């Protein structure tokens, strides 16, 4: 009897949970594994273990804490997204400090949630980033946008600049000073990315093939020197203000 390959849409979403607190890690794993269409393929207690497990299992999504021993979640996110471009990272942490938010997004995180998020919000965010979307919790989104808008609308003095956290809005690309300007089509697609749309939804909106949209997104990321869709979405908001 011949076998038919399982369609990608029917495959379970493969998930890696990373948190140095055993109770939280195991609780998340139990909760998410009980959801239909989700398979927890591993649990890591620190950043180094997360990198090793991710490279071994190639999960679709990693739920990542930030403050952990041996290697932080930022370090692990940077390594995982660099070596496994198809793997998405959802940050789930108690920390909302500006520098951690910026560093996590720069490292390639597609979503940033705080641990007071509801179970439904965590689950929806995991499914959303798996679809190619990006998400920030409302608290984080406000913090990020306020900080980026502040940097985008003024030029800090030498002392202030030295003390300021690394900001995505402090780069020439974020301020709109591009070597090669965006085309009208690229500006349109950038706006849809800022709304959290996946490539598939963007394709349906602008009447292009999904592969063509993917190429547009790559060119936009190159022009704006963005490392992830989340960073791209943030810069889109900055450019509007």
Question: Which residues are within 8 A (CB) of 223 and not within 5 positions of it... i.e. 6 or more apart?
Answer: 173, 178, 179, 180, 182, 186
3-state helix/strand/coil string of 23-39: HHHHHHHHHHHCCCCEE
| Number of domains composing the chain | 2
Residue 11: CB atoms within 10 Å:
12
Give the model's confidence band at 148: pLDDT under 50 very low, under 70 low, under 90 confident, else very high. low
pLDDT at residue 174 tops 60? no
pLDDT at 222: 82
Q: Is residue 4 part of a domain?
A: no
Residues 23 and 116 in one domain: yes
Answer with the residue of higher pLDDT: 102 or 25. 25
Would the pLDDT of 79 be above 60?
yes
Same domain as 164, residue 131:
no
For 59-76, the pLDDT digits (tens) are: 999 999 988 888 888 899
- The total of other beta-carbon atoms located within 10 Å of residue 46's CB is 18
Question: Final residue of a domain: which of 104, 136, 168?
Answer: 136
The CATH number for 42's domain is: 3.40.50.2300
Alpha-carbon distances, residue 59 vs 39, 42, 115, 191, 240 (angstroms): 9, 9, 22, 29, 35
Which residues span the domain enclosing 63?
12-136
């Amino acid at each position: 009897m011949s076998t038919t390959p399982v369609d990608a849409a029917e495959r379970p979403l493969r998930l890696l949970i990373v948190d140095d607190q055993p109770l939280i890690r195991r609780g998340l794993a139990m909760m998410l594994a009980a959801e239909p269409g989700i398979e927890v393929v591993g649990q890591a207690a620190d950043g180094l273990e997360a990198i090793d497990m991710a490279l071994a299992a190639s999960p679709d999504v990693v739920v990542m804490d930030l403050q952990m021993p041996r290697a932080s979640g930022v370090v692990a996110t940077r390594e995982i997204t660099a070596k496994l471009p198809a793997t998405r990272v959802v940050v789930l942490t108690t920390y909302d400090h500006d520098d951690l938010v910026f560093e996590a997004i720069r490292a390639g995180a597609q979503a940033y949630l705080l641990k007071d998020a509801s179970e439904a919000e965590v689950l929806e965010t995991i499914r959303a980033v798996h679809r190619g979307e990006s998400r920030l919790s409302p608290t984080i989104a406000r913090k990020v946008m306020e900080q980026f808008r502040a940097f985008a609308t003024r030029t800090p003095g030498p002392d202030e600049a030295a003390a300021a956290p690394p900001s995505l809005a402090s780069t020439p690309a974020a301020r709109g000073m591009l070597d090669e300007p965006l085309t009208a089509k690229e500006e349109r697609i950038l706006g849809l990315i800022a709304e959290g749309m996946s490539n598939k939804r963007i394709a349906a909106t602008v009447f292009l093939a999904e592969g063509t949209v993917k190429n547009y997104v790559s060119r936009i990321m190159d022009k704006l020197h963005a490392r992830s869709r989340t960073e791209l979405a943030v810069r889109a908001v900055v450019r509007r203000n």
